[in-house]
Amino acid sequence: MSTPLSGPGSATQAPGRGPVGSRAARDHAPITLTGLAGKVLLLGLTAGVAVWAAFPLIDGRKWAGLALLAATTAALFYLYLTRRHIPAKYLVPGTLFLIAFQVFPVLYTASTAFTNFGDGHRGSKDEAIVAIQSSSVTQVPGSAEYALSIATKGDPSTGPLVFLVTDPATGTVSAGDTDGLRRLDAADVTVAPGGKVTAADGYTVLNFGQASARSKEITDLVVPTAGGALRSSGLSRAYEGKAVRAYEVGCDCVRDTGTGQTWTANDEVGAFVAADGERLTQGWKVNVGLSNFTRVLTDETISGPFLGTLIWNFAFAIGSTGGTFLLGMLIALVLHSPRMRGTNLYRLLLVLPYAMPSFAMLLAWRDMFNADFGLINNLFGLDVDWFGQPWTARFAVILVQLWLGYPYMFLVATGALQAIPRELTEATSVDGASPWQSFRAVTLPLLLVALSPLLISSFAYNFNNFNAIYLTTEGAPFPADNPTNGATDLLITYTYRLAFGGQGAEFGFAAAISLFIFAIVAVVSTVSFRRTRKQEEVYS
């Protein structure tokens, strides 16, 4: 590896190795005008972005975040204004990307896995209490509906708000604020035909535009009355309503003023629970410790079919990757032969599946496998219920993967083949090796050195290839007695169904499962990368 042209191994090493010898020259590189302008512009933009990001942080009083932002920005300015630390100038952008796209999501997923975050448990306890109370506001039975105008005695945009309400039965107009209702003299007010007050002495009536600018104050304004309280319903109607359920700090519970029933806050499940176990629907997010993880391991319906699914998952990933690699390489070899004519046309045709959106192709294939109306059965005169039996369904999804994936392998294999010097294979033929021997001993190992990292990443991708299953079989066929785990389910589709198929999404649980899958893929990838490294050492 010491000289740049030591063989195909350098193909994977090329970027970043060029400027090694020029380090000394670089420190004294002349400052060009474009370089300077670019630097000023980019650092200016950096500062701009930092200032833009600072405002919401100050607003939200997130001082730690602000300090981090300031420190990062200062460090970046220092780094790109100094002439030293050349390696860091290259490393920092990538590191920032790594943190933003890899480290942060993984940490976020991991932290979510310890909570019950999901539908019904999204917000804080305070938000749940607000939701419970505001959704329990009902109109007092038999009470009147009022025509409403919003008015103020002061400035339309800042003055304290008053509700001018007209009783439809009597036509009397009253002014209401937090102190209660006061009757206004009929002579002082002008009432439109619908009952709405359009003008009143001493008051400025707000139009919709002015009123809607103060929306929050209007919804928050509650005018106490004998039976409950007057509340606004929009900007033109008011009703006498009452919050039936109210939170009481003393007992940390919600009480229904109508029935007297109470629901006590339970901070372990993040919900208000009644004595009989009934929960209020609005809950909040709490820490649940390891329970999401233990659920994966102890719940029979999850751990039971896990092993079978895992084995099929491996088979699917290996089958997809291996199949596409073999087919792609075979075609690449054929087209690589100097005796082939019209290779460009073939290449164009062969890459076509890669050019089409896989999303649409998966759906098209699904319809082609339809037992009664599908192209495949009709074309070949078959009567196979493709997605109805485990093995035909598995065969079908791997076949679809093969079709979708081989152009990629063909492309990369073609590239790698062209990097293998012809002298090597020529030398083997001079030594009397058959083409097969020459392929086995020279071409394939060199190809694998170049392609192994791609095969590993392709494996990792296919291991979690959600779309390939979800858009074709959706996991079918399912055993009659277990609708949660199908024969073609991958771990990812299986767990998606568990986490999102039931009563609302359970992000905490989904995060816990994805950590398990992450661990499996990480182990497999690490092991195979180690093996690849050994292989590289042998062949380079």
Partner 1 sequence: MRIRTAGVVALFALALAASGCGGDSDEPAAKESPKAAGGKLVIWADDKRTAALKPFAEKFGQENGVTVEVQAVSKDLQTNFVTASQQGSGPDVVVGAHDWIGNLVQNGAIDPVQLSAEQKSGFNETAIKAVTFNGQLYGVPYAQENLALIRNTELAPEAPKTIEDLVATGKQLKASKKATETLCLQVGQNGDAYHIYPLYTSAGGYLFGTGANGDYDPKDLGVGKPASVEAFKKIGALGEKGAGVLKRSISDTNSIATFTGKKCAYLISGPWAVADVKKASIRYDISAIPGFAGGKEAQPFVGVQAFYVAAKGKNKALAQEFVANYTTTPELAVALYNAEPRPPALTAALDQVKGSDPDLAKFQEAGRNGQVLPAIPAMAAIWDPFGKAEAAVIGGADPTSTITAAGKTISGQIK
Nearer to partner 1, 120 or 176 (CB): 120
Q: Least CB distance from residue 486 to partner 1, whole Å? A: 8
User: Do 512 and 113 form a contact (C-beta atoms < 8 A)?
Assistant: yes
Q: Least CB distance from residue 353 to partner 1, whole Å? A: 21
Amino acid at 491: L
Nearer to partner 1, 63 or 529 (CB): 63
Q: Least CB distance from residue 2 to partner 1, whole Å? A: 24
User: Do 128 and 284 form a contact (C-beta atoms < 8 A)?
Assistant: yes
Q: Least CB distance from residue 214 to partner 1, whole Å? A: 8
Nearer to partner 1, 132 or 332 (CB): 132
Nearer to partner 1, 450 or 469 (CB): 469
User: Do 83 and 27 form a contact (C-beta atoms < 8 A)?
Assistant: yes
Nearer to partner 1, 124 or 190 (CB): 124
Q: Measure the CA dihedral 297/300/303/304, to 10°.
A: 160
DSSP state of 489: -
Q: Least CB distance from residue 473 to partner 1, whole Å? A: 7
Residues sharing a CB contact under 8 Å with residue 458, sequence separation 6 or more, in sequence order? 320, 321, 324, 325, 405, 408, 409
Q: Least CB distance from residue 104 to partner 1, whole Å? A: 6
Q: Report phi then psi at 145, rounded to 5.
A: -100, 135
Token pair, residue 123, equals 């917000």
User: Do 525 and 460 form a contact (C-beta atoms < 8 A)?
Assistant: yes
Amino acid at 470: Y
DSSP state of 41: H
Nearer to partner 1, 75 or 334 (CB): 75
From the list 135, 121, 139, the residue with the least C-alpha distance to 266 is: 121
Cα angle: 65, vertex 68, 69; to 5 degrees: 85
Q: Least CB distance from residue 192 to partner 1, whole Å? A: 15
Q: Report phi then psi at 12, rounded to 5.
A: -85, -5
Nearer to partner 1, 202 or 258 (CB): 258
β partners of residue 137: 243
Q: Least CB distance from residue 132 to partner 1, whole Å? A: 8
Nearer to partner 1, 397 or 446 (CB): 397
